[in-house]
Structure 1
Amino acid sequence: MKKALIIFGSATGNTEEMAGMVKTILEQADFEVEVKEVTDASTADLTADHDLLLLDCPAYGDDEIELQEDFADFTEQLDGVRLDGKPFAVFAPGDSSYEHFCGSVDMLEDKMNDLGGKMVNDGLKIDGDPGDAEGEIEAWVESTAASVV
């Protein structure tokens, strides 16, 4: 059975809800899934024995992209981590009224690529409540799961 790790940061609950939805769909695709809040994650989790690493982080800020506070702290610790081709993907809920809609997805994709990860699917950006985008989330997760060999 393939293993996946979802690391999420959440302030309002939408990101945590989305992480739970992704977990359920991955389990239906025969993945063993571990979900960790970013405050409970360590850099060692990124290189642990998982076939897929998923990051879920909301973005804040009007003038520039700001990661959720706990996620920002976590990413500051990543310098020097080598992912050596570890498959990853990034997803987040957001609000399209902001100039940098789900900019956290782009920031984290760049960071993971810089660390040597292998992006297996374009980031998923959901506008508003994840519960209103179940079909889109399911299609993205199934596509992401299928890309892990």
Structure 2
Amino acid sequence: MNNALIVYGSTTGNTEFTAETIKEYFEKNDYSVTVLNVTDTGVDELKKEYDLYLLGCSTWGDDEIELQEDFTGFYENLNKGLSLEGKNFAMFGCGDSSYEYFCGAVDMIADKVDALGGTLVFDALKIDGDPEEDEIYEWTRGVINAV
């Protein structure tokens, strides 16, 4: 059985809903899934062995890209000598396309993971507004097929 780790930061509940929906679909496809709110974990969790790591963060900020408040420390701690070489990642997040940097936090995190040697296995899921299960399932199916 494959295993996956989902770490998310959520303020309004949309990113949490997305994380739980991803978990549900992965479990239907023979994955063991650990879901952690970013407030309950740290980057050391990324040192553990999983077949896939999924990071979810909403985007805030009008004039610049701002990570979801709880995710900021996690993101900054990625710089502390962590190697993600040989690890598979996928990113997801919620935002509002009326802002200049729609889901920019997702791109920031993806760039950081890439710089640390992680492999991005599938295009990021960027949800505009409220998440819909069908959209999440379709993306999750693509991630599973890519791994």
TM-score range relative to shorter protein: over 0.9
Q: Structure 1 counterpart of 2:25, which letter?
A: I
Structure 2 counterparts to residues 21-40 of structure 1, below 5 A:
21-40=21-40
Count of residue correspondences: 146
1:69 alignment partner in structure 2: 69
Moved over 4 A (4+): none
CA distance in 2, matches of 1:71, 1:116: 20
SS state at 1:69 partner: coil
Q: Structure 2 counterpart of 1:104, which letter?
A: A
CA distance in 2, matches of 1:17, 1:137: 10
Structure 1 vs Structure 2 CA RMSD: 0.9
Note the residue ranges of structure 1 that are not aligned, 5 or more in a row: none
Q: Cα offset for 1:39?
A: 1.1
Contact 1:121 1:144 in 2 (8 A): yes
CA offsets 1:92-136 (integer angstroms, 9 cap, x no match): 111111111111111010010011100000101011111xx3222
2:10 alignment partner in structure 1: 10
CA distance in 2, matches of 1:145, 1:44: 24
CA offsets 1:45-94 (integer angstroms, 9 cap, x no match): 11211000000100100111000111111111111100112000100111
2:45 alignment partner in structure 1: 45
CA distance in 2, matches of 1:87, 1:32: 16
TM-score of the superposition, structure 2-length normalised? 0.96
CA distance in 1, matches of 2:50, 2:104: 26
CA distance in 1, matches of 2:95, 2:75: 19
Q: Structure 2 counterpart of 1:23, which letter?
A: K
**Aligned residues with identical type, % of pairs:** 53
1:87 alignment partner in structure 2: 88
